[in-house]
Copies of this chain bind each other. A is one copy, B any other.
């Protein structure tokens, strides 16, 4: 196989973008095998824009058509896992859009099923993992360059969305249509990056605001405290109503600190001596000398790295990597099974805010689903 024939399920904004990337030849090892959409009007659009590409209104039919080797699920979040399973069942590779699903129970189902099909490629669109900046940060943490983590702090409020965005589709930002707001739609990228780089917390406490600045039933503002279970803690803040949004990640370790501003600039401070050793050896007169005279350079070395903003190429890179894994086993950037961590974190944040108490991970999945379904029912 030289090129993977991709079946795109859902020709909306995302599916349309992927189709164009492939049509423009941006993905060397991929071609459009077929396109599927339940909206019959899309048939005409496919004929015009992607002549000779077969169109289906039933995705099972497309999977069974023999025209495709793999699917990508550009559909509402609830459908990602079941479509993935249906594809894998029929020996068709599956790339899930993020999030992997709305609740962990359904994500576990596909993960378990996928593990019975080790020869098939099962991946997830965590395009941010191709971001050189965050790859570098992950590498520094893994190399123990700032030591053991004591605190993480990410304020990521650059996900501004106007009311018109929410009004554009009746399923948008509803419990039944999407299963949540900023936590399942915008912030999953950073939720995945955070756990990818710093690991999963053991406990979560969340204050979420539902329909705070937008007329939506789901959350548009979230503040979370993470507890990593070993003394390390974290803060995660996100919202969709800050048009002057902040993007600032700080990771404080016992040998240094990493600060990422605007996903562009990384400031790394590396202590000459681990903090615990400094604490045990100094008295207050040393401290006064330190802060009044010698200056910060006497205790740490600062390095600043600048990165280009790389939003464009990320999805292309994930698609290409997905196809490469199918063709020659190139390691995946984001294995599908990784998707559950972000879903679990988002679920924990929702559940904590609903119960107004700290929750322990893994959360009570049945309780979560019960609470979610209560909100889906109320909405109708």
Are A271 and B283 in touch, CB under 8 angstroms? no
A205 CB to closest chain B CB (Å) equals 6
When chains A and B are docked, how far (Å) is the Cα of A19 from the Cα of B53?
A: 87
Least CB separation from A269: chain B residue: B244
Asked whether any CB of chain B lies closer than 8 Å to the CB of A123, the reply is no
CA distance A168 to B259 in the complex (A): 33
Q: Does A333 contact B (CB under 8 A)?
A: no
Q: Which residues of B contact A242 (CB under 8 A)?
A: 150-151, 252, 257, 275
Residues of B within 8 A of A168 (CB): 283-284
Binary contact track A154-180/B, C-beta < 8 Å → 1, others 0 = 010100111111001000000000000
* CB pair A164 B275 closer than 8 Å: no
Taking the complex as formed, is A78 at the interface, i.e. its CB lies under 8 A from any CB of chain B? no
List 10 A-B residue pairs with CB atoms under 8 Å apart, sorted by A's residue number: A153-B155, A155-B250, A209-B233, A212-B231, A213-B275, A221-B231, A241-B275, A242-B275, A244-B257, A356-B358
Assuming the contacts A231-B209, A299-B243, asked whether A165 and B269 have C-beta atoms less than 8 A apart, the reply is no
The one of B225, B276, B278 that contacts A223, using a Cβ cutoff of 8 Å: B225
CB pair B155 A213 closer than 8 Å? no
Cβ of A237 within 8 Å of any chain B Cβ, yes or no, is yes
A21 interface residue per 8 A CB criterion: no
Contacts of A207 in B (CB 8 A): 205, 225, 227, 233
Minimum C-beta distance from A170 to chain B (A): 16
Minimum CB distance partner of A222 in chain B? B233
Q: Bin chain A's interface residue count.
A: 35 or more
Contact residues in B for A358 (Cβ distance below 8 Å): 356
A235 touches which one: B221, B237, B284 (CB < 8 A)?
A: B237
Q: Given the known inter-chain contacts A207-B227, A223-B225, A250-B155, please indicate yes or no for A241 contacting B165, CB distance below 8 A.
A: no
List chain B residues, Cβ under 8 A from A213. Answer: 150, 231, 275-276, 279
- Shortest Cβ gap from A276 to chain B (Å): 7
Tell me the bound Cα distance from A166 to B209 in angstroms.
40
Residue A43 lies at the interface, judged by CB distance under 8 Å to chain B: no
| A150 → chain B closest CB, angstroms | 7
Distance from A16 Cβ to chain B, minimum over Cβ atoms (Å): 14
Q: Does A300 contact B (CB under 8 A)?
A: yes
Q: Which of A175-214 contact B (CB under 8 A)?
A: 205, 207, 209, 212-214
Give the CA-CA distance A380 to B175 in the complex, in Å: 53
**Cross-chain contact B231 with A279 (CB below 8 angstroms):** no
User: Is A12 close to B, CB under 8 A?
Assistant: no
| 3 shortest interchain CB distances as A-B pairs | A164-B283, A162-B282, A162-B279
In Å, the complex CA distance between A250 and B242 comes to 12
CB pair A279–B223 under 8 Å, yes or no, is: no
